DNA sequence: CTGTGGCGTCTGGTATACCAAATACCAGAA
DNA sequence: TTCTGGTATTTGGTATACCAGACGCCACAG
């Protein structure tokens, strides 16, 4: 037993606005905002009633969500959950491609062999057979793979910038048609990317990552279906809290 | 005279928080936050007195500034203007390189000849002779050139993401030693970039942009001088309002 | 001289009240 | 019925009051 009396400092960041922000963000991400009958309007007072706190921290959380592009607050109209247009999504993918291709280059330059090996292990954990059957699980593994590249780049800003994009990307999966062999081809791409990194070929790794993301870009562009806009925002489907 | 009575809709976005945000941001950007005697602490109540408005819109503006990384608000301590560390600046340059090199590629693919010509004109407006004498003016022209590439990419998100980086980049100029021939070499680089774009060589344009930005990265890394941290934040140098 | 504890003050966090614009609704006139 | 105008309601924006933690100061005990 140690002689000193040691306590770890408590986390003083338990502010309401922080908590509310998480709650609202998770709530928005959990609902299918592209569903035709989705309720896209939020109400500050209603939320303050449900959460039993005042409007102030809610407004701060909403302001933050607005800056991240998840909601739009219109004076004297209301707060609305934003649907991304195809064009916006395509732009996000473009920026993502820029970030991750640069990350791949940095990985080649800075990551050690053990880290690169971890990348391969991440991919190997999901074989081709399972991939076809569990699309959702593959999607998560897919994101983890790409995120890992950004992590290994050693550039935190590269990662955090991309993270703010990933936030918006999860919701689009339901809106893009799935093509039979896309998962297969995706896994092949990933293998090629790892091989280029293992070979320490920065130019090739960068190119492969970029081209891989461009494929997603074109795929979304090709198969995106616009949500039905006939219904507005008055249907009683609540955001899950 | 037209028969109808027509008025243009007034801009209803004149909210205080928006205005305060601009004021505070400009104020922060205008001061040399790396000066040894810079006052880095802000006070909500003091600001509300000076600006003759309540704390609420000020808090919203500060919250937004915090998310953009310009200030840090510490509960029960105060609001502090953030100094960027070298590492953070280097990461910003890295992300910038990623964004602009992708932009250069898109310019080659999507911009028409007239737009590319406008890019060259932008550069030509600043000859080499003047460049050496007016460093500040060149820096602005320099930023305009790079920003124009992002504009011509046609990807708004690429531009806006980079803009949030440029915000932080202006302040570092005073902290990096100037080297005699850096401006000269920079202009040469820019010429090469334009030539590659004019030749519609996407790979080359991307590489040149990236390498150009990497030069800045290395230059900052080499010549950055840490500010004197002996003084804290109690010296009476006010943020300009 | 030392350090301990009380206490006033400063500061951001939260709650609450009020405002003005947008909107919905309804009654009365044509 | 249809149009008009007033009015109640909704909603985000702003102002203000109060809270509790952090901090500095100082008297007082050891």
pLDDT band at B238 (very low <50, low <70, confident <90, very high): very low
Note whether A150 and A162 are within 8 A (CB): yes
Q: Tell me which of B57-66, B172-181, B218-227 is least confident.
A: B172-181
pLDDT above 70: residue A237: no
Report d(CA B105, CA B113) in Å as an integer: 15
Beta-carbon separation of B155 and A95 below 8 A: yes
pLDDT band at A35 (very low <50, low <70, confident <90, very high): confident
Report d(CA B202, CA B199) in Å as an integer: 9
Name the nearest CA neighbour of A150 among A100, A189, A111, A211.
A100
Average pLDDT for residues B194-220, to the nearest whole number? 97
Protein-to-nucleotide distance from the CA of B240 to the C1' of D17, whole angstroms = 30
A-chain residue closest to B165, CA distance: A157
- Within chain B, where are the H helices? 16-30, 44-51, 55-67, 86-110, 113-124, 128-133, 135-152, 156-169, 182-198, 202-223
Average pLDDT of chain A to the nearest whole number:
85
pLDDT band at B228 (very low <50, low <70, confident <90, very high): low
Report d(CA B220, CA B124) in Å as an integer: 26
Phi, psi of A239 (to 5 degrees): -75, 130
Sheet holding A41-42, edge to edge: A41-42, A78-81, A71-74
Name the nearest CA neighbour of B41 among B236, B229, B172.
B236
Please give the share of chain A, as a percent, with pLDDT higher than 90.
59
Note whether A74 and B15 are within 8 A (CB): no
Which residues partner with A42 through β-bridges? A79
Report d(CA B5, CA A220) in Å as an integer: 46
Which residues partner with B239 through β-bridges? none
- Interface probe, candidates B14, B87, B98, B204, chain A, greatest A C-beta count within 10 A: B98
**What is the CA angle A98-B204-B139, rounded to 5?**
75
Higher pLDDT, B128 or B22: B22
Report d(CA B161, CA B139) in Å as an integer: 20
Report d(CA A71, CA A69) in Å as an integer: 6
Residue B156: list chain A partners with CB under 8 A.
Answer: 91
Q: Tell me which of A131-145, B21-35, B71-85 is least confident.
A: A131-145
Task: Kindly report the pTM of this predicted structure.
Answer: 0.87
Q: Is A106 near chain B, with CB under 8 Å? A: yes
Who among A15, A60, A157 is closest to B92 (CB)?
A157
Protein-to-nucleotide distance from the CA of A78 to the C1' of C29, whole angstroms = 35
Which residues partner with A72 through β-bridges? A80
Residue B12: list chain A partners with CB under 8 A.
Answer: 75
Name the nearest CA neighbour of A176 among A116, A90, A241, A95.
A90
Beta-carbon separation of A95 and B67 below 8 A: no
Per-residue pLDDT tens digits for A175-190: 777 777 888 889 999 9
Task: Identify the pLDDT of residue B23.
Answer: 93
Which residues partner with B123 through β-bridges? none
Hey, is B72 helix, strand or coil? strand
Residue numbers 49-108 of B with CB closer than 7 A to any atom of strand D: 53-57, 60, 76-77
Nucleotide nearest to A55 (CA to C1'): C15
Residue B162: list chain A partners with CB under 8 A.
Answer: none
Higher pLDDT, B9 or A82: A82
Name the nearest CA neighbour of B213 among B99, B66, B68, B78.
B99
Note whether A203 and A65 are within 8 A (CB): no
Determine if strand D comes within 7 Å of the CB of A45: yes
Task: Identify the pLDDT of residue A150.
Answer: 98
Task: Identify the pLDDT of residue A127.
Answer: 58
**H/E element holding B73?**
strand B71-74
Protein-to-nucleotide distance from the CA of B154 to the C1' of D2, whole angstroms = 50
Higher pLDDT, A13 or A224: A224
Per-residue pLDDT tens digits for B56-77: 999 999 999 999 999 999 999 9
Report d(CA A32, CA A29) in Å as an integer: 8
pLDDT band at B241 (very low <50, low <70, confident <90, very high): very low
Alpha-carbon distances, residue A144 vs A122, A125, A158, A184, A204 (angstroms) = 8, 11, 15, 17, 21
Residue numbers 25-44 of B with CB closer than 7 A to any atom of strand C: 42-44
Q: Which of residues 15-44 of A touch B (CB under 8 A)?
A: 15
Protein-to-nucleotide distance from the CA of A45 to the C1' of D9, whole angstroms = 14
Average pLDDT for residues B128-151, to the nearest whole number? 78
Hey, is B134 helix, strand or coil? coil
């Amino acid at each position: 037993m140690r002689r000193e009396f040691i306590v770890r400092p408590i986390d003083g960041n338990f502010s309401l606005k922080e908590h509310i922000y998480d709650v609202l963000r998770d709530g928005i991400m959990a609902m299918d905002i592209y569903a035709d009958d989705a309720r896209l309007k939020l109400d500050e007072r209603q939320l303050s009633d449900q959460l039993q706190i005042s409007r102030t921290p809610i407004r701060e959380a909403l302001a933050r969500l607005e800056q991240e592009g998840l909601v739009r607050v219109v004076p004297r109209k209301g707060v609305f959950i934003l649907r991304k247009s195809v064009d916006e999504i395509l732009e996000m993918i473009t920026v993502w491609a820029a970030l991750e291709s640069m990350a791949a280059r940095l990985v080649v330059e800075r990551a050690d062999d053990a880290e690169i090996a971890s990348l391969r292990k991440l991919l190997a954990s999901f074989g081709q057979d399972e991939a076809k059957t569990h699309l959702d699980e593959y999607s998560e593994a897919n994101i983890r793979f790409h995120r890992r590249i950004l992590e290994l780049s050693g550039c935190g800003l590269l990662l955090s910038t991309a993270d703010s994009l990933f936030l918006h990307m999860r919701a689009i999966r339901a809106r893009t048609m799935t093509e039979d062999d896309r998962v297969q081809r995706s896994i092949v791409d990933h293998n090629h990317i790892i091989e280029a990194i293992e070979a320490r070929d920065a130019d090739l790794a960068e190119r492969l990552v970029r081209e891989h993301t461009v494929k997603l870009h074109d795929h979304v562009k090709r198969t995106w279906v616009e949500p039905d806009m006939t219904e507005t925002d008055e249907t009683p489907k609540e955001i899950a809290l």
